[in-house]
Amino acid sequence: MIDWCHKHGISMLQVLPINETSDDNSPYNAISSMALDPTTIAISPEQIPGLTTAKFREIAKPELLKELRAGPVKYTKVKTLKRLLLRAAFDAFLTNIGTRRVSGRCVPGVPRENGDWISDYSMFRVLMEDYHDWPTWDEWPLDRQNRRRRGRGFSHCRPNNAMNTPSEFCSARMCSGSRTTNG
């Protein structure tokens, strides 16, 4: 976009907020002040460690990509596709964890630089998915509304503080290199 603006003599570009939104897709109704919306990140085998070209082609079939690139943005379909691609990368990450096949650039420094928000946000996304993408957490069961009430029912989600949920992996990929605790 910057190159396009330069080419056409445009010196200023204003964009809407790019934080993750709920199902209404309004940039002014963000569900996070830190996480980027999956529709705004480029997802390809070159950009996402663990996402192979074969897996990308299996999930993002040419017919689907053609449909998504025509006409107005189809937010639900784009988000679904990008989450499927991120899930495939996450599955590869889990398969390769503990081996030398895990790329060194796989979310470098994200837990350290974003630790003040990413774990809670990831848990929120997991719970949101459990409740059919409904972000209104104050309408969830009481034991899901407050992390102090989570109890043993959530212990399986974060053994040894490992990044082990697709949403946490997605959150990490969305903020990696783009967001820090200052930002």
Segment 105-147, tens digit of pLDDT: 445 555 567 677 877 788 888 888 888 777 888 888 877 777 6
Total-model pTM: 0.65
- C-beta atoms surrounding 50 within 10 Å: 21
For residue 180, tell me if it sits in a domain: no
Range of the domain at 12: 2-175
Q: How many CA atoms lie within 13 A of 117 on its CB side?
A: 17
For residue 65, tell me if it sits in a domain: yes
Q: What share of the chain is helix, strand, coil (3-state, %, to 5)?
A: 50, 0, 45
What distance in Å separates the CA atoms of residue 153 and residue 174, rounded to the nearest whole number?
27
What distance in Å separates the CA atoms of residue 183 and residue 166, rounded to the nearest whole number?
23
pLDDT of the residue at 163: 44
**Bridge partner residues of 19 (DSSP):** 36
For residue 181, tell me if it sits in a domain: no
Which residues lie below 8 Å from residue 32, measured CB to CB, with a gap of 6+? 19, 20, 121
For residue 47, tell me if it sits in a domain: yes
For residue 183, tell me if it sits in a domain: no
DSSP 127: H
What distance in Å separates the CA atoms of residue 4 and residue 118, rounded to the nearest whole number?
33
For residue 124, tell me if it sits in a domain: yes
Q: For 158-181, what is each residue's pLDDT tens digit?
A: 433 344 445 555 544 444 433 333
For residue 58, tell me if it sits in a domain: yes
Q: Are 178 and 111 in contact (CB under 8 A)?
A: no
pLDDT of the residue at 106: 47
Structurally, how many domains does the chain consist of? 1
